[in-house]
Amino acid sequence: MDAKLNIRHANIYDAEGINNCTLRNLAESDYLLTSPSEFHPSVSDTENWIQFHIDKPNSSIMIASHDNQVIAVQNITGKQTKKVNHTADFGLAILPEYRGQGVGKKMVEFAISWAKENNNLKMLTLEVFSANKPAFHLYKSFGFEQYGFLPKAFFQDGKYLDNVLMKLEV
């Protein structure tokens, strides 16, 4: 990946690019929970989603862009109740043509660095399809540990798929 890659925290002006990136990822990935027919937020809805994350000290939306196009979206969504607000759910989706080029590694590095600097967060958690070996190995390389496994958690294309639960203390 060349120097035109830019990774940063999203702002509300990124909403349309985030929607476009997300819709493409949903259409072209077998490892996301939502189907394209279920995803229909307006730009205003996505602006509100971004603003929610901006307003919460334990949350952030991060993007990678290349040639001014959003190519990856990553979220850290902190829990909001007192007993669990030291934890956050983590998610990442990268457009297919940018996978395997180090974008995921740079995005995860950026997210973990932000989480470690964030005094509110102590743990990131994520869920990954057991068949998504590249993502599993990426997360494991950053120290995420498997803490659970849910058989038959997903049903897709006439078959059941398992869910791997992972965590990272920051």
pLDDT (tens digit per residue) in 124-153: 999 999 999 999 999 999 999 999 999 999
Range of the domain at 40: 5-122
Residue 134, in any domain of the structure: no
Question: Which amino acid, 6?
Answer: N
Assign residue 102 a region (left: φ > 0; alpha: ψ between -120 and 50; beta: otherwise). left
Residues in the chain: 170
Q: Are strands 123-129 and 159-169 parallel, antiparallel or unpaired?
A: antiparallel
The residues near 153 (Cβ < 8 Å, ≥ 6 apart) are 160, 161, 162, 163
Asked whether residue 167 is domain-assigned, the answer is no
CATH code where residue 66 lies: 3.40.630.30
How confident is the model at residue 5, as a pLDDT?
Answer: 95
Measure the CA angle with vertex 79, ends 155 and 139; round to 5°.
Answer: 55
pLDDT tens digits, one per residue of 95-112: 999 999 999 999 999 999
Which pLDDT value is given to residue 117? 96
61: in domain: yes
**Does residue 109 form part of some domain?**
yes
> With a threshold of 0.85, does the pTM exceed it?
yes
pLDDT of 36 = 86
Residue 118 pLDDT level (bands cut at 50, 70, 90): very high
d(CA 94, CA 111): 14
Summarised one tens digit per residue, pLDDT across range 67-84 is: 999 999 999 999 999 999
| Tokens representing residue 97 in the block | 């043509």
Kindly state the tokens that stand for 107: 């995005």
pLDDT, tens digit (0-9, with 9 covering 90-100), for 5-62: 999 999 999 999 999 999 999 999 989 989 888 999 999 999 999 999 999 999 999 9
pLDDT at 3 over 80: no
131 is a domain residue: no
d(CA 56, CA 9): 13
The answer to whether residues 75 and 84 touch, using CB atoms and an 8 Å cutoff, is no
List of residues 6+ apart from 15 with CB closer than 8 A: 43, 44, 46, 47, 50
pLDDT the model gives residue 160: 96
- The answer to whether position 94 is within a domain reads yes
- The answer as to whether 156 is a domain residue is no
Confidence of residue 2 (pLDDT cuts 50, 70, 90): low
| Spatial distance between the Cα atoms of 166 and 123, rounded to a whole number of angstroms | 10
The answer to the question of residue 106 being in a domain is: yes
Give the largest Cα separation in the chain, rounded. Answer: 44
Task: Give residue 1's pLDDT.
Answer: 59
What is the tally of structural domains in the chain? 1
